[in-house]
Amino acid sequence: MATKKSSLPALTLGAIGVVYGDIGTSVLYAFKEVFVSGHVPITQANILGVLSLFFWTLTIVVSIKYVVLIMRADNSGEGGLMALLALASQSVKDQPRLRSVLLMVGVFGVALFFGDGIITPAISVLSAVEGLEILTPAAKPFVVPISLVVLVLLFAVQRRGTADIGKFFGPITVVWFLAIAVTGVLQIVQNPQVLVAVLPVHALRFASEHYTVAFITLGAVFLCVTGAEALYADMGHFGKLPIRLAWFGLVMPSLMLNYFGQGALVLSNPKAAENPFYLMTPDWALMPMVGLATAATVIASQALISGAFSATKQTIQLGFLPRLNILHTSIRDTGQIYIPAVNWMLLAGVVAAVGLFGSSSALAAAYGISVSLVMVITTVLTFFVVRYGWGYPLWLCLAASGFFLVIDLAFFASNSLKIAQGGWFPLVLAGAMYTVMATWKQGRQLLNEKMRSDAIDLPSFLDAVFVSPPVRVEGTAVFMTAEPGIVPNALLHNLKHNKVLHLQNLFVTVRYHEVPWIGMNKRLEIETLGHDCWQVSLHYGFKNDLDLPRALQQIRGRGCELDPMTTSYFLSRDVVIPTLGSGMAPWREKLFAQMHHNASGAAGFLNLPNNAVVELGSKIEI
């Protein structure tokens, strides 16, 4: 892992570039959205109250909840919603019903993450390019086209990977944070009274005097913490210490200086509330700031796109999505992957979002609801990890989780007021994604049940075959089986049509586990079946890269000598036939059958050599 190979300064710099891009670009639109609706009168007391809400939201949600507490809930060093879901699932494995409910809740959270992957690039790039309107109002008609060009180029270069340009992410993002800190300080110096907003009394006074407006305002205030989940999600790449150092040493101070600077500007010039970020930038620095902001938003979007690729791979290996074509874009870093289907689906969603909403303010209504709901789900899953996994007292778990859950639900409730204004968009995306994932998971269960009901016991079958053995041919045959101990369809078809059996036969089952990594020393289990046949189980974590030939090399010296040049891989290519019955609804069975048909081939997914694969098909009714 990177934490063992890189120095602390290098990891901290990398964390600034990858982890904090999203939350770092929130300064472009978060403070503006509080006042742009007109609900909050621009007075000194209100500005101080709003700034106090920003300060304490960042402190409680990011500093305390994520940086201090949730980052402790690592799954073998890995973080993120998928790792947390696996950890919570393991914590309640002795309670099947509760475990299944948590899995569904967690899967919906993952579905929301994919919706976030569409909205974040759209709102970030739009808000950066909108700075051109400050430079000249004549640029307004060009904001959407320029944003679309930037976004299309961003997705078009994904296939090439980020190995070459990734090393610039950290330095550019450091320059960004220093720039927003300096522009903030320039305004604070002119109106230093804004610094008293660090006292919580201003937030409490604002909430008590304008409780209805304050509740509505929470949806806009929440935008300052969008991207906070990246701290936890990227923990496995950089480690806890670099992420915490980057947050407390640079990111949070820079964000707060900029937000307080925006407040100081609006305090002296209320008209600046229409776009305080760019209006507090000196005229000579406006164009460079637009360029720097665009670069920062592209980096933030890149981090989220890469995160979507990684989340998709993990979701596939946990059995919630069909196999997809996964390409590795770096020889050195196996974690850098590119999934064409996900890339183009994200681009289509981003283009649709920009076209539908047309401005960062319009998109802001859609943004908060998905992120706030993900935070609610994160808090719920963490409760079960702390209570059942770590065994902390129930009163302590309820008190801690209840405190954060009340805050998360308050933000979610406020954002829910915007469903009609755009909040429906991420919910529709998440609902569609959840339907796909749940249909695939249930369809696979029905398919496996059908295969088990029709299955033939493998040891008994081999004993019967070798009563009058077929012709044995040189080499090794590897038959893939979904379940150990049953006869694969490929073997039946091979015997029926070719009437031969190889000298050595391996029946291989790939097992995925709810842990991120399984080392090579625990990768393989082998059991002899007699007649030069072996049952092999291969174990993978949801972040491991699959390489079947490499894993099978561990068989050498254990009774079976494997020669890659004389090994053939037999795969079953099943065609699913939807039928009326007690399975899923007809439309879901048709959806599953279509996904099963379009899934990428097992050969590529398992990294098998193309010239050594034999696929034999059969039809299965569910």
Report which secondary-structure segment, H or E, holds 134. helix 131-135
Q: Which pLDDT score is estimated for 584?
A: 85
Q: Which pLDDT score is estimated for 244?
A: 93
Mean pLDDT of the chain: 88
pLDDT at 253 over 90: yes
What number is the average pLDDT over the span 477-488?
89
Band of pLDDT at residue 573, cut at 50, 70 and 90:
confident
CA angle 174/178/181 to nearest 5° reads 140
Q: Which pLDDT score is estimated for 164?
A: 59
- According to DSSP, the β-strands at 337-338 and 471-480 are unpaired
Residue range 2-316+332-426 in CATH 3.40.50.700: no
Band of pLDDT at residue 549, cut at 50, 70 and 90:
very high
Alpha-carbon distance of 231 to 20, in angstroms, equals 7
Q: Where are the domains of the chain?
A: 2-316+332-426, 454-621
pLDDT at 137 over 70: yes
pLDDT at 4 over 60: no
Report which secondary-structure segment, H or E, holds 472. strand 471-480
What number is the average pLDDT over the span 166-188?
92
Q: Which pLDDT score is estimated for 211?
A: 83
**Residue 549: left if φ>0, alpha if ψ -120 to 50, beta else—which one?**
alpha
Both tokens assigned to 576: 């699913």
Q: Which pLDDT score is estimated for 199?
A: 95
Give the pLDDT confidence of 502-540 residue by residue, as tens digits.
999 999 999 988 788 888 889 999 999 988 999 999 999
Q: Which pLDDT score is estimated for 364?
A: 84
Burial class (CB in 10 A: 0-12, 13-18, 19+), 65: buried
pLDDT at 67 over 80: yes
Q: Which residue has the higher pLDDT, 560 or 429?
A: 429
| pLDDT more than 90, % of the chain | 44
| C-alpha to C-alpha distances, 475 to 341, 448, 501, 525, nearest whole angstrom | 37, 30, 10, 21
pLDDT at 548 over 80: yes
Residue with tokens 């205030």: 221
Q: Could you write out the DSSP letters of every residue in 142-154?
A: GHHHHHHHHHHHH
Q: Which pLDDT score is estimated for 2?
A: 41
What number is the average pLDDT over the span 495-500?
86
Tell me the longest C-alpha to C-alpha distance in the chain. 95
Q: Which pLDDT score is estimated for 163?
A: 59
pLDDT at 65 over 90: yes
Give the pLDDT confidence of 458-474 residue by residue, as tens digits.
999 999 998 888 899 99
Give the pLDDT confidence of 370-425 residue by residue, as tens digits.
889 999 999 999 999 999 988 999 999 999 999 999 999 999 999 998 888 888 99
Alpha-carbon distance of 19 to 13, in angstroms, equals 10
Amino acid at 219: G
| C-alpha to C-alpha distances, 181 to 62, 83, 119, 257, 412, nearest whole angstrom | 19, 34, 26, 5, 29
Q: Which pLDDT score is estimated for 166?
A: 67
Read off φ and ψ for residue 528, nearest 5 degrees. Answer: -80, 140
Model-level pTM? 0.85
Q: Which pLDDT score is estimated for 3?
A: 39
Band of pLDDT at residue 335, cut at 50, 70 and 90:
low
Choice among 102-116, 195-209, 501-515, 568-582 with the minimum mean pLDDT: 568-582
